[in-house]
Amino acid sequence: MHALIQGVILGVLTAGVYALMASGQTLIFGIMKVINLAQGAMVILAAYLSYQLHASFGLDPFLAIPITPVALFVIGVAVEVLFLRPLRQGDKAELSLLVTFAVALLLEGVISLGWKTTYRSINTSYANSSWTVFGYQITLVRLWAFLLSIGVLVALYLLLNRTRFGRAVRATVQNPESAQLLGVESRLVSALGFGLGSATAAAAGSVYGLLYAFHPGSHYDLISLLLSIVVLGGLGSIGGAVLGALIVSVSSSVVAATISPAWSAMTFFVILLGVLLVRPQGLFGSPVRGAI
Amino acid sequence: MTRTTRGRRRASLVATAACALVLGVAGCASSSSSKGGGNKSGPLVIGASVSLSGDFADSGKAVQRGYQLWADEVNAKGGILGRKVQVKIVDDTSSPNQVTTNYQNLINRDHVNLVFGPFSSLLTVPASQVAKRYGYAFIEAAGGGPSVFAQNLQNLFFVQRATVLTSGDVFADWILSLPADQRPKTAAYPELDDPFSAPIAEAIRKRFEAAGIKTVYKEVYPAETQDLSPVMSGLAAKHPDVVVSGTQAEDAYAQVKSLIQLKFSPKFMFMSNGASDPLNFPDKVGAANTAGIMSVADWYPTSDATGSQAFVSAYVKKYGGTAQQIDPTSAEAFACGQILEDVAKQTGKVDNATIIKTLHSGTWQTLLGSLSWDQSGAPKGTMSLVQWQSGKLTPVFPAADAKATPLSTKPNWGG
């Protein structure tokens, strides 16, 4: 029972970080109908940037969060303008898979050149600290990561629901043609949306580097996880991404703690398959019209 | 058969014919190249394919440093039997195909006199097959997996004190040498699904179970497992006296960090790999948290085995850094050369047939300690049990290697 509850605690705390990464992925799909296979590589790039800021200037990865998202926002906008915009509208969904995978490989290559291929991890003074609550351990880093993720997700929610830009994004998601007719500059929304999705990857990347060791190829494992989460939650739904992250993280953590780590990764794929059989559009996905 | 396959087959036939022609010409040009070949006078050229790029690049470069340093040292003493030593290193990009090509080229095209091995068992298996085909001795520092010895090649000699599978025996020996009331009663085995990790912990588990130490936790986690916290929380809930971890590097660091966060410190902790890294381990888990953790090593900077201290000073002089920063792989590569020197000294010859015949008997003193091999090339010795004490990796068992008494209980995290 103790292992089960400890597993749930670990799973919930980790889910925040997964949700943050996946929210950017699902946002990009919602706006542009592009499955961004470079999202994992962007998370890893941000982890390296945070690592470097910590190693060179002693900057805490949490304090690096205002910096790395700006850098990744710029990279995201550049990727959209340079590589995705030239694609023809009809083939965009299929070709974007190839293009974003190429971007992922490009980023992996650049990271390998810049930081070599060895594992890195960000070790802060509080990296191993934890609080004991009713006999259970709450890791400080995970707790801060969880709270930060909630904060960023709330900010994202407010941006999408309380601002003019957010309205334009939601309008583009729901009906791009009508939005354009009403004066929404859809090209600008796409570029900013891709940048925003990349920026959330950056925030998640800083935290990711604190939790796990990483190397340039870490993005392969990450992208399969992120795709599972967004498909489970429903492509294009941020609420779905959060719920998907929670299901994936808690189920794999509980199974690893109580049954076997060998079954851990398998579990959420079984859940994913079960959900898709009943709801092919995912938990919160809309079969007809987009919604964030 | 598809057109592509047929085309490929035709291409390979042409390539084979071309190779045969080239080899034939080369054979005519130099009749001394075929068996254990190379020139019998002039410099003694030793070829080695090493991973200077790809997955094994870091370790491959450590092997290169060891080979090169030995060549420099032996040349400073006048070479071997009056011949200067030249080490010819080629990059195999960590690829089993490339390593095969490289040894073919070293032997048939470059006519090197002798060869040394590459890094990893993955590359040692195909490389040693090539060496065997041409009658070359295969002295290698970094291929100790079961697949290497299963070939039962008579020309191979693995220059470490024990094979991968038997490397953890020394920990079991120490635990079982303790008085019954000091031995652990329960044990946990978190194991990475890797041929160089899980089998070490499994070998210890069998001996512990036979001695009555109860297994309360045993799980194998996949190599791609990113988060080990849930795994270690399952282990901590069982409160084992001893944790025997079958680990590599990153998972070893993650295991320790997770246990610190879970505030569970076992009485004994052994890690097959990772904890024996004098640089990265304290850096990744925090120096104060290393206290009492055990691992195995066949070489350590404070070793006083034959030539070890001379190696340390020569290494630091040539490559910089400190003794603690020397990768043991460099020491193992250096030992390959020491063995060659001794064969030459003992027999007055350095041809491949003599090396193979001579190394199959007797014991050989190196900076790793005394080495001897069975017919398959597996070393017959045991590793040293090392323990982190006062921030240093210290040999503690067996008594012949020990520089300190082992701590019978691991201090709590933070020392």
B157 within domain boundaries: yes
Phi/psi of residue B278, each to 5°?
-70, -20
Closest CA to A128 of A141, A147, A109: A141
B275 and B188 in one domain? yes
Task: Say what the pLDDT of residue B19 is.
Answer: 43
Contact B230 A128 (CB under 8 A): no
Q: Does B234 touch chain A (CB under 8 A)?
A: yes
B188 and B145 in one domain? no
Size of interface A-B (CB pairs under 8 A): 91
> Of A119, A127, A137, which is closest to B263 when you measure between CB atoms?
A137
B46 within domain boundaries: yes
Supply the ipTM of this predicted assembly. Answer: 0.83
B254 and B120 in one domain? no
- Judging contacts by C-beta atoms under 8 Å, the chain A residues touching residue B231 are 256-257, 261
> B216 lies in which domain range?
169-298+383-397
Percent pLDDT > 70 in chain B is 90
Q: How far is B220 from chain A (nearest CA, A)?
A: 7
Q: How far is B4 from chain A (nearest CA, A)?
A: 26
Q: How far is B280 from chain A (nearest CA, A)?
A: 10
Q: What is the CATH number of the domain that holds B136?
A: 3.40.50.2300
Q: Scanning every residue of chain B, which has its alpha carbon at the shortest distance from the alpha carbon of A266?
A: B222
Location of structure tokens 């880093």? A141
B1 within domain boundaries: no
Q: How far is B223 from chain A (nearest CA, A)?
A: 10
* CA angle (A82, A86, A91) in 5-degree steps: 130
d(CA B352, CA B310): 28
d(CA B336, CA B339): 5
> Of A128, A137, A256, which is closest to B234 when you measure between CB atoms?
A256
d(CA A97, CA A75): 18
pLDDT digits (tens, 9 = 90+) for B153-198: 999 999 999 998 899 999 999 999 999 999 999 999 999 988 888 9
- Kindly list the averaged pLDDT for each block of 10 residues, start to end, along chain B of length 415: 40 46 40 50 93 82 95 96 96 92 97 95 94 96 91 95 92 95 96 88 96 96 87 94 92 92 95 86 88 93 90 96 88 96 95 95 93 95 93 90 91 85
d(CA B185, CA B187): 7
- Judging contacts by C-beta atoms under 8 Å, the chain B residues touching residue A119 are 249-250
Q: Residue A78: left if φ>0, alpha if ψ -120 to 50, beta else—which one?
A: alpha
Contact B230 A254 (CB under 8 A): yes
Q: What is the pTM of this model?
A: 0.81
CATH of A2-278, one of 1.10.3470, 1.10.10, 1.10.3290, 3.40.1130: 1.10.3470
Contact B230 A257 (CB under 8 A): yes
Identify the three-state secondary structure at position B294. strand
Give how far Cα B72 sits from Cα of B51, B61, B78, B80, B318, Å.
21, 16, 10, 12, 10
Mutate to test the interface with B, among A2, A5, A6, A129 (most CBs of B within 10 A): A6
Q: How far is B354 from chain A (nearest CA, A)?
A: 41
B230 and B145 in one domain? no
Contact B57 A117 (CB under 8 A): yes
Mutate to test the interface with A, among B94, B224, B261 (most CBs of A within 10 A): B261
- Judging contacts by C-beta atoms under 8 Å, the chain B residues touching residue A252 are 230
Q: How far is A258 from chain B (nearest CA, A)?
A: 6
B390 and B267 in one domain? yes
d(CA B262, CA A10): 11
> Of A118, A128, A254, which is closest to B257 when you measure between CB atoms?
A128
B287 and B176 in one domain? yes
Contact A264 B230 (CB under 8 A): yes
- Judging contacts by C-beta atoms under 8 Å, the chain A residues touching residue B261 are 128-130, 137, 139
B150 and B178 in one domain? no
pLDDT digits (tens, 9 = 90+) for B82-108: 999 999 999 998 899 999 999 999 999
B94 within domain boundaries: yes
B6 within domain boundaries: no
B125 within domain boundaries: yes
Location of structure tokens 């790029």? B53
- Judging contacts by C-beta atoms under 8 Å, the chain B residues touching residue A11 are 230
Contact A169, A292 (CB under 8 A): yes
pLDDT digits (tens, 9 = 90+) for B124-157: 999 999 999 999 999 999 989 888 999 999 999 9
Tokens encoding B85: 């030593």
> Of A2, A121, A262, which is closest to B221 when you measure between CB atoms?
A262
Contact B254 A212 (CB under 8 A): yes
Task: Say what the pLDDT of residue A290 is.
Answer: 55
Residue A245, CB-side half-sphere exposure with 13 Å CA sphere: 28
Contact A33, A90 (CB under 8 A): no
Say how many domains are in chain B: 2
- What single-letter amino acid sits at B8? R
B388 and B251 in one domain? yes
Location of structure tokens 């990561």? A145
B205 within domain boundaries: yes
B155 and B78 in one domain? yes
B225 and B90 in one domain? no
List b or e across A262-278, with b for residues whose CB sees 16 or more CB atoms inside 10 angstroms.
eebbebbeebbeebeee
Contact B221 A256 (CB under 8 A): yes
Contact A119 B250 (CB under 8 A): yes
d(CA A81, CA B344): 67
Task: Say what the pLDDT of residue A287 is.
Answer: 59
Q: Which residues of A lie inside 8 Å of B (Cβ-Cβ)?
A: 2-3, 6-7, 10-11, 14, 117-119, 121, 123, 127-130, 132, 137, 139, 211-213, 221, 252-254, 256-258, 260-262, 264-265
> Of A2, A130, A139, which is closest to B237 when you measure between CB atoms?
A2
Closest CA to B215 of B232, B231, B230, B202: B202
Tens digit of pLDDT per residue, chain A (292 long)?
888 999 999 999 999 889 988 988 888 888 778 889 999 999 999 999 999 999 999 999 989 888 999 999 999 999 999 998 888 777 777 888 999 999 999 999 999 888 887 788 888 888 888 899 888 889 888 898 889 888 888 888 888 888 988 888 888 877 778 888 888 888 888 889 899 999 999 999 988 988 888 889 889 889 988 998 998 988 878 888 899 999 999 999 999 999 989 888 888 888 888 888 988 888 877 655 555 5
Beta-bridged to residue A132, according to DSSP, are A137
B22 within domain boundaries: no
Tokens encoding A145: 């990561």
Closest CA to A245 of A13, A67, A36, A46: A13
